[in-house]
Amino acid sequence: MERRMTVKNELGLHLRPAGELCTLAMEYESKILIHFRDREFNAKSLLSVLSACVQCGDEIVMTFEGPDEEEAAERISAFIYGLNG
């Protein structure tokens, strides 16, 4: 399953939201990846998410693969779109 999203948070995926994203992703058994600028980043790894350097206005594609992929996709999409500051 794939979701295309635009990051609206003014500061992008900086430390706080990146940490929250990783914590949320780790709740799921599914493999969760962020695809950005022709690279893949593990959404369950804080260092991986931070190394993506996702800024405000950047479009990312997230993929979810596993038994709980639908729930993971819904919750993580809601989290990304709900980020503020």
Is residue 14 flagged as an active site residue? Answer: yes
Q: Determine which one of 8, 11, 12, 14 is catalytic.
A: 14
Q: What's the rounded mean pLDDT across residues 36-60?
A: 97
Which pLDDT value is given to residue 46? 98
Which pLDDT value is given to residue 58? 97
Whether residue 68 is predicted with pLDDT greater than 80 in this model: the reply is yes
Nearest alpha-carbon partner for 31 in 55, 51, 1, 4? 1
Between the alpha carbon of residue 68 and those of residues 30, 43, 45, 65, 72, the distances in Å are: 6, 15, 19, 8, 6
pTM of the model: 0.93
Which pLDDT value is given to residue 83? 85
Which pLDDT value is given to residue 84? 67
Q: Name the band, by pLDDT with cuts 50, 70 and 90, for residue 72.
A: very high
